[in-house]
Chain A
């Protein structure tokens, strides 16, 4: 079974620039999550999709971050404009559906550095 695919693996940009990340979940997984993991911390949920609808985006900084999952399969996360504190690993995860206890499978992540 192919895992969660993310790209790019690494991205270096200057502050105030824009960046986008892409995620393709495991085939058939209805639920998709984007997490931000700052060095030395655990992952923090940014947004959760169920098919193409948003379930939870309470911790997404909506003034600069946006995400979409238009066809209910792959997803993009965008930051515009980037700030220094956005330097982190951005992890995408998917699960078959969203009930509590459903295991989440993570992609390798995109490591973002802001100069």
Chain B
């Protein structure tokens, strides 16, 4: 079983749509959780951290369920510029080691 598993993509949605990405992690000792965004042939960039109480940043909402070891990312009112691969990332232990999911590709069409 992979340590971090994401929905297989790609997701193809029209502009303005709401899209949700799901992620599960296997290590119950995981301490911190993130969503990174990676554009084609570019480096990953931090999109947002994920907190136990859930958190929102504009059109983006992240949720964490520690009991189910499940993380989600909701994007509302999709824009063309949201097209990218979204990586679910888990930090295990105190040392900052990040474990990345395989990524879910999103393509927003006009």
Contact = CB atoms under 8 A, between A and B. Distances in A.
Interface of A: 31, 33, 40-45, 48, 55-56, 91, 95, 97-104, 106-109
From DSSP, what is the main secondary structure of chain A's interface residues? loop
B44 A45 contact: no
B1 interface: no
A78 B106 CA distance: 34
Contacts of B42: 108
B14 to A, nearest CB: 25
B101 A45 contact: no
B101 A91 contact: no
A42 B95 contact: no
Interface of B: 4, 31-32, 42-46, 49, 87, 89, 91, 93-103
B97 A44 contact: no
A41 B94 CA distance: 25
A100 B91 contact: yes
Nearest to A109: B43
Nearest to A101: B32
B96 A43 contact: no
